[in-house]
Amino acid sequence: MQRSPQCSETLTSKRKIDMAGQSSAVTARTGNNPFLRGVAVLSTLAGWCSAAMIVAAVAITCQMIFVRFVLNQSTVWQTEAVIYLAIGATLVGLPYVQQLRGHVNVDLIPLALSPGARYYMYILTMTLSIVMVAIVLFYGFEHWHLAYERNWKSDTIWAVRLWIPYLAIPVGFGLFLLQLIADLVAVLLKIDTPFGLEDE
């Protein structure tokens, strides 16, 4: 059966195969589904925010080096800010990395399975992932809310209000949970394929 040019282009853009035979899936498919497209926009926005945090951390580090070694002055807030930005960038960037299929993935077993078994394995692993991330989100939100209610501050000269950096926990894991749900929905609706692998 000969595929249409449009179908071949879709398959090519979805999955590339290197000489070793390993797969490398790219951005998750959304089709014309408004929910999937909305989640994709949020994940992309989170990726941009994460990148901005990294750039800010690098800029602050450069400023800190200048203040310490050129002006020979002490720093107060820079080290703490860089740590919070680096951790925040990691958490807020979770959904974007998931959207790009950038998390560590070992597809040895899915490749060995038949399409039917691969589908059910995907449903199981994604359901377990969603449950685990939802638990982390619940306790992360609880921790953030506690810091906000009690007005916790860091034990440093800067004394930053901890609810501000802690906000990255519920935001990051909340968007990550949304992206995982979107990935599962895409497979259930046959918009995407399990593990980004095409049926042979």
pLDDT of residue 199: 65
Q: Which pLDDT does position 14 carry in this prediction? A: 44
Beta strands in the chain (DSSP E): 15-17, 23-25
User: What is the rounded CA–CA span in Å between residue 60 and residue 92?
Assistant: 19
**pLDDT for position 119:** 94
Distance from C-alpha of 97 to C-alpha of 63, rounded to nearest angstrom? 29
The pLDDT, as a whole number, for residue 26 is: 63
187 with 119: CB under 8 angstroms? Answer: yes
Tens of each residue's pLDDT in the chain, 200 residues: 454 544 444 444 444 434 334 444 467 788 788 999 999 999 999 999 999 999 999 999 999 999 999 999 989 999 999 999 999 999 999 999 999 988 777 778 888 888 889 999 999 999 999 999 999 999 999 999 999 999 999 999 999 999 999 999 999 999 999 999 999 999 999 998 888 777 65
Question: What local confidence, expressed as pLDDT, does residue 165 receive?
Answer: 97
pLDDT at 102: 83
Dist. CA 142–CA 138, nearest whole Å: 6
What per-residue confidence (pLDDT) applies to 104?
78
Q: In angstroms, how far is CA 52 from the centroid of its own chain?
A: 15
For residue 96, give every residue at least 6 positions away whose Cβ sits within 8 Å of its Cβ, in sequence order, or none.
Answer: 43, 44, 46, 47, 50
pLDDT at position 111: 84
Q: Is residue 110 exposed (0-12), middle (13-18) or buried (19+ Cβ within 10 Å)?
A: buried
Q: How far is 98 from 196, CA to CA, in rounded Å? A: 12
**Nearest alpha-carbon partner for 122 in 102, 105, 134, 99:** 105
The answer for residues whose C-beta is within 8 angstroms of residue 125's C-beta and 6 or more apart is none
